Amino acid sequence: MTEKEKQEMIFMMIREMSRREKEGKVERFRELNRKARKGQIVFAGSSLMEQFPVYEMLLGRELPYTIYNRGVGGFTTWELLENLEPCILDLEPGALFLNIGTNDMNGEDFVLSEFMDRYESILMRILEKLPKVKIFLMAFYPSNLEAAPDPHTRAAFACRTNERIKRANEAVRELSEKYKAVYLDLNGPLTDEKGNLRKELTLDGVHMHVEGYELVMDQLVTILERLSDL
């Protein structure tokens, strides 16, 4: 077996493990949703949402609703479209915070218009079933590829540049206006003078330490406290 064949085999194994892990999380959501309260708040998306410790950060605030985190690490817009029921619709949320799409940006073949078509399809399906849901579209967080801990990580996220993220955020903002959703850009405190994710806040150039999410929550909590009429 050549070195290239070995690398391809390793890649396939990792991909299969990731697929099974995501399927396992979705299945657990299906089970949990059977006991969940309807009409509450849902946070959905990929790993950037899954790793957001929303519930822990809000302990003690006595908010009059329950928050469910339905983020799945590695999810793309395609995968969320395929799993809207367990991740969002089955919960019939009164409010939804969405951060999905950064994994779509990882490839060289990324096409913004096609990406936004899928993003719009997600919104259309949600509003078709939940016409009264309050939707908050969260801006994609900036990246800092110089902060990646090793060449392999840097290569994995090489296409997720801040220029690409910026263009995607502009498109999401326009989409929010079309569907009367709220566009939330909470990136100010996360960003350094060059427009990158602050180095001390990131694990690998893309994902954040708890300190990063605390800066997000500092801005988000006021919005959450105002959602008392769910």
What HEC string does the chain produce?
Answer: CCHHHHHHHHHHHHHHHHHHHHHHHHHHHHHHHCCCCCCCEEEEECHHHHCCCHHHHCCCCCCCCCEEEEECCCCCHHHHHHCHHHHCHHHCCCEEEEECCHHHHHCCCCCHHHHHHHHHHHHHHHHHHCCCCEEEEECCCCCCHHHCCCHHHHHHCCCCCHHHHHHHHHHHHHHHHHCCCEEECCCHHHECCCCCECHHHECCCCCECHHHHHHHHHHHHHHHHHCCCC
**Count of structural domains within the chain:** 1
The whole-number pLDDT of residue 61 equals: 85
* Mean pLDDT, all residues of the chain: 92
Domain interval for residue 213? 3-226
pLDDT digits (tens, 9 = 90+) for 63-112: 899 999 999 999 999 999 999 999 999 999 999 999 999 999 998 999 99
Q: Report the percent of the chain where pLDDT is more than 90.
A: 81
CATH number at residue 48: 3.40.50.1110
In this prediction, the residues of the chain whose per-residue pLDDT falls under 50 are none
